[in-house]
């Protein structure tokens, strides 16, 4: 480097001081503005490569549904380009077909292709088949939800208020995709026909249905044009009141007319409902708000609250609003925790500067630079279309330590230059220019490790790309600010007094002397370093064997979902009785703030059997959530026999697992045999897995529907009576389920009129057998004469995988890691006699996702190491230097495993991200050491032990400063302070653990290895 270049660089910086600083200030201001406009959500906006098709074909048995509907649909959808797997679940009259695609697929295009394939396939299926196509993404869970309860207003009126007054207002909120309602009752007019009176008057149910349909009409009958007007003529016979319904004429004759009220009781009622929804144990209507993908959750929540506050005065008195779920509180708590971690990191870094450099001015520069870098980073994140979520905010918090590293090394370089040359007009600029090459090299080594992460797929790529992109962006901005802005600010603030400040004290001199004494011996006896290297490797390998493996870090969200069921075939009334006992447990648990429950339906809106459902329990505080969940689960198991607790999950963790395929860690999919064989095998496999330590809540995968009554129509007997099976089925449907032939407008609602037989006339099979059917010629026929009624036990849902029968036995893991548990599961499944010949198994669930994620991250680790090695070769053009430098970060990986083990963490994808990042971080420090060595070494001069020692002495203080500052900056995340830090806690602990052994690796081990490699190279060249 020539003095002319230094002078030119300095002149250029100084001559453009105002424009450069103004540009950087503009970036900061733009970042602050962009931060107020960026969407805020819990997770990054991710579209999972999964589409679910819901099929509805009325009342059919599971076997009939599978043969006639599910299998043809599966075959049609298998032909959609890009489908990598297809699963189906078939129940009575309904089925779900789950399509999986490769990550990166244009899912919107696939939705259109799936809809096209379904349209063609449905045309060849039995009439009445309906389908609904849903693409899976995080917005399928509500972002905010309210419960409406009242002691004075009926469930019917409560739902009417929610549907007509609340739903339209909230649907208009910007960013809201959908508002759904659950619970309450829907009003209808009930026409309960007396079969005896009907028969005595020689009338049929069909006569009643036709009369109601014909008398409640409105029809245009022409137009009247007169006196300059054109009027539409309407013939209107619509019912206005329930009394008019009662007066409906069924027949006229010589004996007068027969009205409806002579053969039926007409009154206001509610639509038959086999679902129960409550809040805090009271009948409730639940209002659930869903956002658009990429929406601003915080803004949506504020707008919803404002709309409800404005609407509340117009609502009837006596309605209790309670917010039972609010994703924005989780987001805000997470953001506040990350904010606190960033602020604490900045404060700790400033204290480190004050301790080592004893300069308030330099500390003030750090206090200004770190927030400025983060603000400017926000500009790029906004341009890239990203949002503030726990991944981007966590990336910013994790980047603080690396940003502080850049600031510290530049400030230390400037102060060294000032103390060596004194304060001159170009001293600071010369120091910055001299440091450009090592600063660029170290920054490149850190940033380059994020490049392979761009190719990650699966859940890991979906979530951690946002974190890695945030950190890479922050480091690029940090380099620009430290390279351009920091020298200009330091040149303005630092003066002659700073050039003559005390450089070293007695402690520093003793450290230098001790380091020189140690290195003189190790450089002459390099084998003495082998015990230290062996200890790092050995303890790391030992720790790796002891660290349990996992998938995603657990995060306390302050609430959880409880899935439950009672025995198959249990009535809704009996299930409700058991669930109310569980609700009493919630009411007597002081940590519970509120809860909602659904029976016969699900939180996501899907229908289930009357003996199944779920609950959402909101806690007063997320602290100690797992202990509260365990306490509630234990009380349920001991106090409510007959109530089976299926799962207890936190909503977002459950959602991620659900979107990926299954929220359960262990899923063993059995296939290779017929459905009957698999159905008998699944409980045996579940019992065998029950012996595996750590497996809890084992589910055999068989979902048994409630019992049924098979009404088998005899074709011959029906024909002898002059009837057809279709006609008999239609009459039975009207008698038992009811027919809604017309609707009456009441205010803003259309109220249905249901015709059926009173409940007391069909309470038992004997009642149904004695029901009278009317033949075409008018004579009456009891059901028992043309049909046989048989009670059928519950039948399990039929599950298939890739067009073959399959059943999945699943379980949760408690107190153990994935690896050890799955190893025991494999040994159990390999036991002789458990699996019949031809039956094979494969793993799914979170374990499969973990294996894919770990495989991808291992490839990223190797790619990152190779890229860093390539960057080092480009920087120094020496294999010996590149190999010596790479030993430090690779050995630091042993420290990562040791730290995770000592901290009681699991080896999950967050920890692996930290392990990958430590490669770049340690390499950055090693680059500064070699840059110092290059400055000390004359051209082509040999590298002597004295030079290696002097380079180490010169870098001890800056390496100690950056190491301590980075550890302290990451400490709040590593300690898991706050609700949102759990996702980044393993990452922070991994980085801190690598940093903890960074100094001896870079200052001691690396110089010795470099010296050995140089000697080996010289001997090889001499030979």
pLDDT digits (tens, 9 = 90+) for 502-545: 556 677 788 888 888 988 988 888 888 888 888 989 998 998 88
- What is the CB neighbour count within 10 angstroms for residue 723? 22
CA 115/CA 131 separation, integer angstroms: 9
Highest mean predicted confidence (pLDDT) among 44-48, 449-453, 896-900, 975-979: 896-900
- Looking only at the bridges linking them, the beta strands covering 666-671 and 695-699 are unpaired
CA 164/CA 145 separation, integer angstroms: 17
Q: Which of 133-142, 588-597, 747-756 has the lowest mean pLDDT?
A: 133-142
- pLDDT of residue 3 exceeding 50, the answer is no
**Hey, where are the domains in the chain?**
15-41+330-502, 50-135, 140-292+725-773, 506-546+878-1022, 554-649
Kindly report the average pLDDT of the chain as a whole number. 85
Rounded mean pLDDT, 453-468: 76
- pLDDT of residue 139 exceeding 80, the answer is no
Cα 489 off chain centre by = 44
CA 980/CA 774 separation, integer angstroms: 68
- The confidence score (pLDDT) of residue 455 equals 73
DSSP state letters, 812-853: EE-SS-HHHHHHHHHHHHTSTTTSPTT-EEEEEHHHHHHHHH
- pLDDT of residue 938 exceeding 70, the answer is no
CA 361/CA 353 separation, integer angstroms: 10
* 3-state secondary structure at position 223: strand
- The confidence score (pLDDT) of residue 583 equals 94
CA 99/CA 667 separation, integer angstroms: 18
- pLDDT of residue 9 exceeding 80, the answer is no
Instruction: For the domain made up of 15-41+330-502, give the CATH fold.
Output: Multidrug efflux transporter AcrB transmembrane fold (1.20.1640)
- The confidence score (pLDDT) of residue 602 equals 83
Give the pLDDT band (50/70/90) at residue 1. Answer: very low
Domains 140-292+725-773 and 554-649 share a fold: no
CATH superfamily name and code, 506-546+878-1022: Multidrug efflux transporter AcrB transmembrane domain (1.20.1640.10)
65-99 confidence digits (pLDDT tens): 888 899 999 999 998 999 998 989 888 778 889 89
- pLDDT of residue 898 exceeding 90, the answer is yes
Give the pLDDT band (50/70/90) at residue 605. Answer: low
Q: What is the CA radius of gyration of the chain?
A: 37
Identify whether the C-beta of residue 391 lies closer than 8 Å to the C-beta of residue 40. no
Rounded mean pLDDT, 815-834: 87
CATH architecture of the domain with range 50-135: 2-Layer Sandwich (3.30)
Q: What percent of the chain has pLDDT over 70?
A: 95
Rounded mean pLDDT, 705-709: 74
Scored b (16 or more CB within 10 A) or e, 569-594 reads bbebeebbebbeebbeebeeeebbbb
Give the pLDDT band (50/70/90) at residue 657. Answer: low
- pLDDT of residue 6 exceeding 70, the answer is no
Give the pLDDT band (50/70/90) at residue 582. Answer: very high
Q: Is the pTM of this model over 0.85?
A: no
Rounded mean pLDDT, 644-665: 74
- The confidence score (pLDDT) of residue 581 equals 95
- pLDDT of residue 756 exceeding 50, the answer is yes
Instruction: For the domain made up of 140-292+725-773, give the CATH fold.
Output: 3.30.2090
659-681 confidence digits (pLDDT tens): 666 667 888 999 888 888 888 89
Strand partners, 276: 599
CATH superfamily name and code, 554-649: Multidrug efflux transporter AcrB pore domain (3.30.70.1430)
Q: Which of 32-36, 602-606, 644-648 has the lowest mean pLDDT?
A: 602-606
- Check residues 114 and 507 and name the one with the higher pLDDT: 114
CA dist list (Å): 5 to 10, 434, 479, 488, 710: 8, 10, 20, 18, 94
- What is the CB neighbour count within 10 angstroms for residue 949? 21
């Amino acid at each position: 480097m020539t003095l002319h270049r230094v002078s030119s660089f300095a002149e250029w910086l100084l001559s453009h001081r105002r424009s450069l600083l103004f540009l950087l200030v503009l970036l900061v201001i733009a970042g602050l503005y962009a931060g107020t406009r960026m969407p805020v959500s819990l997770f990054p906006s991710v579209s999972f490569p999964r589409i679910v098709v819901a099929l509805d074909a009325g009342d059919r048995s599971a076997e009939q549904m599978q043969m006639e509907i599910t299998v043809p649909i599966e075959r049609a959808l298998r032909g959609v380009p890009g489908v990598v797997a297809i699963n189906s679940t078939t129940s009575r009259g309904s089925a779900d077909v789950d399509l999986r695609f490769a990550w990166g697929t244009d899912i919107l295009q696939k939705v259109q292709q799936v809809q096209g394939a379904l349209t063609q396939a449905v045309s060849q299926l039995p009439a009445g088949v309906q389908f609904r196509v849903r693409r899976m993404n995080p917005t399928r869970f509500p972002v905010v939800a309210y419960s409406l309860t009242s002691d004075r207003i009926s469930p019917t009126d409560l739902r009417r208020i929610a549907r007509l007054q609340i739903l339209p207002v909230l649907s208009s909120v910007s960013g809201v995709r959908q508002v759904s309602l659950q619970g309450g009752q829907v009003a209808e007019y009930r026409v309960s026909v007396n079969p005896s009176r009907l028969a005595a008057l020689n009338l049929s149910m069909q006569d009643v249905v036709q009369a109601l349909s014909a008398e409640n009409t409105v029809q245009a009958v022409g137009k009247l044009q007169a006196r300059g007007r054109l009027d539409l003529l309407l013939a209107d016979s619509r019912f206005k009141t329930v009394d008019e319904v009662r007066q409906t004429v069924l027949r006229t004759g010589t004996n007068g007319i027969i009205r409806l009220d002579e053969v039926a009781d007409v009154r206001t009622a509610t639509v038959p409902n086999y679902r129960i929804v409550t809040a805090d144990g009271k009948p409730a209507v639940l209002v659930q708000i869903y956002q658009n993908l990429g929406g601003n959750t915080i803004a949506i929540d504020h707008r919803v609250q404002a709309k409800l506050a404005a609407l509340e005065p117009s609502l009837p008195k006596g309605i209790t609003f309670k917010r039972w779920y609010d994703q924005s509180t989780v987001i805000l708590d997470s953001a506040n925790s990350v904010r606190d971690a960033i602020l604490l990191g900045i404060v700790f870094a400033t204290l480190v500067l004050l301790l080592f450099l004893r300069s308030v001015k330099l500390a003030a520069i750090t206090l200004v630079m770190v927030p400025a870098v983060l603000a400017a980073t926000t500009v790029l994140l906004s341009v890239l279309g990203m949002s503030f979520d726990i991944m981007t905010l966590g990336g910013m918090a994790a980047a603080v330590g690396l940003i502080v590293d850049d600031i510290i090394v530049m400030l230390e370089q400037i102060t060294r230059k000032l103390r060596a040359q004194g304060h001159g007009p170009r001293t600071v600029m010369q120091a910055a220019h001299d440091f450009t090459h090592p600063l660029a090299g170290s920054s490149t080594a850190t940033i380059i490790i994020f490049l392979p992460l761009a190719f990650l797929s699966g859940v890991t790529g979906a979530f951690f790309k946002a974190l890695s992109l945030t950190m890479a962006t922050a480091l690029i901005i940090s380099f620009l600010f430290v390279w351009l802005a920091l020298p200009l600010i330091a040149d303005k603030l630092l003066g002659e007094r700073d050039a003559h400040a005390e450089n070293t004290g007695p402690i520093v001199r003793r450290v230098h002397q001790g380091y020189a004494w140690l290195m003189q011996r190790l450089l002459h006896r390099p084998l003495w370093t082998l015990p230290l290297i062996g200890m790092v490797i050995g303890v790391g390998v030992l720790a790796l064997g002891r660290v349990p493996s996992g998938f995603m870090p657990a995060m306390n969200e302050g609430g959880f979902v409880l899935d439950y069921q009672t025995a198959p075939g249990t009535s809704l009334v009996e299930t409700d009785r058991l669930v109310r006992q569980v609700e009493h447990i919630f009411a007597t648990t002081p940590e519970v703030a509120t809860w909602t429950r659904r029976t016969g339906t699900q939180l996501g809106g899907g229908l289930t059997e009357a003996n199944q459902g779920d609950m959402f329990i909101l806690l007063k505080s997320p602290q100690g959530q797992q202990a509260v969940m365990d306490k509630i689960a234990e009380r349920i198991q001991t106090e409510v026999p007959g109530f089976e607790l299926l799962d207890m999950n936190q909503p977002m963790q459950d959602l991620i697992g659900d979107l990926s395929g299954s929220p359960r860690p262990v899923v063993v999919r059995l296939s290779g045999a017929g459905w009957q064989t698999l159905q008998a095998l699944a409980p045996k496999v579940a019992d065998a897995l029950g012996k595996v330590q750590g497996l809890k809540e084992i589910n055999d995968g068989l979902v048994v529907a409630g019992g049924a009554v098979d009404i088998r129509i005899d074709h011959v007997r029906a024909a002898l009576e002059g009837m057809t099976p279709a006609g008999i089925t239609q009459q039975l449907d009207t008698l038992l389920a009811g027919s809604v032939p017309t609707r009456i407008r009441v205010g803003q609602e259309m109220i249905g009129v249901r015709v059926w037989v009173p409940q007391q006339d069909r309470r038992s099979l004997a009642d149904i057998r004695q029901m009278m059917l009317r033949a075409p010629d008018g004579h009456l026929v009891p059901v028992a004469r043309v049909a046989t009624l048989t009670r059928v036990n519950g039948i399990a849902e039929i599950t298939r995988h890739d067009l073959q029968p399959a059943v999945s036995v699943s379980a949760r893991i408690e107190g153990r890691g994935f690896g050890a548990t799955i190893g025991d599961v494999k040994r159990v499944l390999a036991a002789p006699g458990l699996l019949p010949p031809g039956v094979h198994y494969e793993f799914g669930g979170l374990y499969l996702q973990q294996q894919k994620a770990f495989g991808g991250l291992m490839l990223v680790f190797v790619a990152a190491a190779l890229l860093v090695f390539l960057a080092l070769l480009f920087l120094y053009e020496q294999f010996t230097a590149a190999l010596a430098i790479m030993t430090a970060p690779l050995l630091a990986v042993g420290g990562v495993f040791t730290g995770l083990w000592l901290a009681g963490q699991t080896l999950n994808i967050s920890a692996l991200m930290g392990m990958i990042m430590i490669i770049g971080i340690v390499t950055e420090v090693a680059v500064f050491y070699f840059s110092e060595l290059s400055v000390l070494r004359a051209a082509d001069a040999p590298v002597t032990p004295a030079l290696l020692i002097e380079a180490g002495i010169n870098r001890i203080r800056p390496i100690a400063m950056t190491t301590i500052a980075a550890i302290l900056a990451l400490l709040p995340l590593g300690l898991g302070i706050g609700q949102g830090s759990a996702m980044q806690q393993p990452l922070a602990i991994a980085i801190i653990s690598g940093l903890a052994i960074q100094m001896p690796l870079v200052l001691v081990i690396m110089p010795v290895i470099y010296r050995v490699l140089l000697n080996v190279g010289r001997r090889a060249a001499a030979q």
